Amino acid sequence: MKILSIQSAVAYGHVGNSAAVFPLQRIGVEVLPVYTVNFSNHTGYGAWRGPLIAPDDVRAVITGIEERGVLGQIDAVLSGYQGSEGIGDVIIDAVSRVKAANPDAVYACDPVMGNAASGCFVAPAIPELLRERVVPVADIITPNQFELGYLTGTSPDTLESTLASVDAARAMGPRTVLVTSVERPDRPANTIEMLAVDDAGAWIVETPRLPMKANGSGDVTAALFTAHYLRSGEAETALRKTVSSVYDLLARTLESGERELQLIESQEFYADPREQFAVRHVR
């Protein structure tokens, strides 16, 4: 399997491609990383150094890959945080080029916009770009519950309303939706859920909620779910494997006391997910 991953990169820590690439490689996926920024560290520290990469330069890298004649071998394009409208245009163009070379390829988009705690934290033009132009060409999207509501103009909270919001998102274009953080008012205390929906049905899984914030965990989640879904063709299987790997990664990070994901130290959890959480068929 080959995945073209168009995301940010940092020298210190693990977000964007610096979070997604190694777990994919560890499960046997060939990754072609294309960087949209090259920062010293993620912006959550409040200070960082390094360049934003101009959209034309990102496009040039993709053109260079195309000139090697390998776009037809790519199984998926993966994207995360889109810092500008220009980068969005480059990603949409890359998806078009890859699908022209390989009609079976898919586009997996993590529509990063914000979360319930901090609200929308991207540039004002990005939500509209994602809603109007990017999500309609995606095959797989991996929003959190807040982003799902933002994309669809809904307010998902219960399981029923979240499923209805997923249906609205699927009507926009993508057939597979992973909701990475479902927080229902009637859920058991100190738990959180993930929900995966495709043409075959809907599945949900509950895990303990760990008392931490981990930059980059969404990037790992989107990457692993995409790869497992492509391999198995089953949302249930992809959900079960992804949740187990990400939970163990987060638990190890919490135990370490470090701020950054313990991505390398957790590598056995990607290669051999323990699958310790029950996945429930809800539709």
Looking at per-residue confidence, does 89 or 84 come out higher? Answer: 89
Long-range CB contacts (< 8 A, 24+ apart) of 56-61?
A: 58/6, 58/34, 58/87, 58/90, 59/90, 59/93, 59/94, 61/34, 61/35
Residue 121 has pLDDT above 90, yes or no: no
Mean local confidence (pLDDT), 188-208: 97
Residue 84 has pLDDT above 90, yes or no: no
Mean local confidence (pLDDT), 159-167: 98
**Residue 42 corresponds to which tokens in the numbers above?**
């993620």
What average pLDDT does the structure give for the chain? 95
Q: How far apart are CA 80 and CA 179, in angstroms?
A: 15
Mean local confidence (pLDDT), 195-214: 96
Cα distance from N-terminal residue to C-terminal residue, the chain: 30
Give pLDDT tens digits for 19-43.
Answer: 999 999 999 999 999 999 999 999 9
Would the CA dihedral through 46, 86, 75, 234 be positive or negative?
A: positive
Output the pTM of the full model. 0.96
Residues in the chain: 283
Report the pLDDT value the prediction gives residue 82, as an integer from 0 to 100. 85
Would the CA dihedral through 172, 107, 207, 211 be positive or negative?
A: negative
Helix-helix angle 159-171:145-152, to 10 degrees: 50
Looking at per-residue confidence, does 118 or 20 come out higher? Answer: 20
Mean local confidence (pLDDT), 82-108: 95
| Furthest-apart CA atoms within the chain: distance in Å | 53
89's enclosing H/E stretch is helix 85-101
Please state the φ and ψ torsions of residue 115, each to the nearest 5 degrees: -155, 170
Q: How far apart are CA 263 and CA 245, in angstroms?
A: 11
Residue 127 has pLDDT above 80, yes or no: yes
Residue with tokens 């080959």: 2
Please state the φ and ψ torsions of residue 70, each to the nearest 5 degrees: -110, 0
Mean local confidence (pLDDT), 145-157: 95
Please state the φ and ψ torsions of residue 148, each to the nearest 5 degrees: -60, -45
How far is the CA of 12 from the CAs of 17, 121, 250, in angstroms?
12, 22, 18
- What percentage of the chain has pLDDT greater than the value 70? 99
